[in-house]
Structure 1
Amino acid sequence: MAQSNETTQYYHGTKADLKQGDLIQPGFNSNYGKQNKAKYIYFTATLEAATWGAELALGEGSERIYIIEPTGTFEDDPNLTDKKFPGNPTKSYRSQQPLRVIGELKEWQPHTAEQLKTMKDHLEKLKQQGIEAIED
């Protein structure tokens, strides 16, 4: 398990409407896979991964990217590290402890409609093959 690095900025992409000081916690239905109750909260140190998180999140709300700080230990996200990409180039993590919202990133560049369609088609193909997110 890693500890928070004071100099690293972390992000959480979602459609949830949150405010500064709110805690994002496990126990809610996941945005991915079978939408089971999430055992972990996922976050990243890259804007690219946070953008995907916001764009692929379920729900009707606006896509948002929050700047967060972990309140406890965290580990590399096994959905993306070593299985899909050697190491952790996406700087994606998960934690069982809450994430505190520090602020919202108001300006960020969404993916193109074509990139989003390609990703959603890929995820649907994986789902049809029975391949879904890991939730160890």
Structure 2
Amino acid sequence: MDASLRRLKTDYIDLYQLHWPERSTNIFQLFDYQYELDEDATPILETLEALNALVRSGRVPHIGLSNETPWGLARFLHYAETRGLARMISIQNPYNLLKLDFENGLAEMALRTSGIARLFAACDGYR
């Protein structure tokens, strides 16, 4: 993080978003999700603890997710609430006329979970 901040010539990054889930998950509109044991994947709790340290240091005021599933978002929010860790404030998943996955679960999560901003990755899919 320190090296990135130096290269960017700044003291902090406004919003640090995770780009992809590290665990085995159903991405790219696969309709037959095949679970794979991902023993090498970093657990969500460990990831959130590392992000929490960045938030507490003041170098990253806000954290968010990209390309995440409803289950993943729920786990991040659960750990934030039960362990007093930094809370995700945004989710940015692809959204357009051909990719409406956000509507299946994530829309309800964003609406019912106060403070989760919806960011759309497609210019033709804004709501």
Q: Same fold (TM over 0.5)?
A: no
Find the structure with the greater CA-based Rg: 2
TM-score by length of 1: 0.23
More strand by share: 1
TM-score normalised according to structure 2 size: 0.24
Q: Is the helix fraction higher in 1 or 2?
A: 2
**Larger RCO: 1 or 2 (CA < 8 Å, sep 6+):** 1
